[in-house]
Structure 1
């Protein structure tokens, strides 16, 4: 499964790092949460320059091994601000885990999720670092970027920060809702492997992907005020971790709440981006071939006005690069459908 392969990859890379040292590219990709916090403005400018100049892109490929043909996502986010929620929250409180990618690249996804949850009757608390955290201004991170480069100790430190923020909420039984599949599901899976304490068992019961939480609550009486959406039959792509954890059932269920909404879930394996894999020069061609097996042709064949839906940040990146179509997170689609 995708989960088993992730663990095998992490172990292999950790052993390779111990023998050969950590490469410049691995340090860049792994420590992205720290780089983005400290140097967001400078990195955003560098990304714009690199994307606009083929010469700079080629130089960056030689120095960092990032494929010159591949775009790099624009750093646009300032995160998700705290703000007063609705006075009336009859369905209780939820904690929204805003991952690194959502925080810095697509904060609109978190805003959409918050609006949908509030429309459903929930008080939404954005998860923040615990009191006493050594970096109180730096957003929380699941450690996935470090694990993907075999940097296990650094991932464990990110996990400890996140668990410190979660423990009081878990004690109260507050559900934790995440948006990026690989990040939220790290809380349910990799956190066990990182030995982050006994509370991880409780976290496994209270951590949900956005659609998983909505489906669970729908079974308990949740009704969202939704209206039909314009456009052709939508194309839906599932992230590898959604498939590995059986979460596509929830995606199908929740999209079915939108009146008259028609969609097809693409019968595809990995989109080919797989985090940093599709950015790496030596893997760029393989990444595109994976996308061309079924996902990218299905998106191209969709009607021009048909929504393209993918929860995974990397999946949306691959779809945009491969087809020029902008894919949306389910939370964004549901917000557009809110009849409020």
Structure 2
């Protein structure tokens, strides 16, 4: 009997120990994001091929100006899971978290009147709303309320933007006309991973100090370089609608030479430039729909123009006259 007890105890300890390890690992997995769930390769920016020369320079009929709108970098902590452009009136319709600059009231329930009456983070008074999915680091759990509210596999500490650039550019081949107030716009493809095509993939990822290299993968940047996201919006308007089914047909992209499709008119081209301080080797993930697996190809952004007619005239005048302006 004594021998049987001596043989049984190691077996009991082994079973209990295995169960304890499994429980700890299970709790750890539940609390921490799974790095393997992220779709998309990491690429060293120094190994990305240099890009060809930029498009044709602005011709004599073009609009060579640039306008920078200073809207800060979301110091106000404006985040939510809404998407006013794609899912108006639907709370948490994005299924992932968006970060904002500009209009401080924007959520799913916003309308033209509420946007026009709201406060703004833009120093020149632009009440437009500019927003994009957040970027997270996966080696740290999100502990604040807004970091856990999205669900759907979007977890981890949200990386703050080191800088947010809001810039409008003209057309290389013609003057631009004003955007209509309350124009809705989207760039990028939030379902690119499962769509099986890259026609609407527009965001480019890169690193500061490497202006001629960009990628649709997650870049690895050398020490001292910031990770960047650049999102360019369509700039050819049909002259009729401020929004459309599918959120795209009223605004089209120009050709590589800057020519707008027939039946559309060139409006100021919006560019959002986001940068982040990310230590080398840090696992990162873009917020996304669950089935998109945080692919960097799904990066996208939205915009609602709430500039007054006078503010828009100033932007257009600066672009058409070839000046460099800041608001």
TM range (shorter): under 0.3
Greater helix percent: which structure? 1
Report which of the two structures shows the higher radius of gyration computed on alpha carbons.
2
Higher RCO, 1 vs 2 (CA within 8 Å, ≥6 residues apart): 2
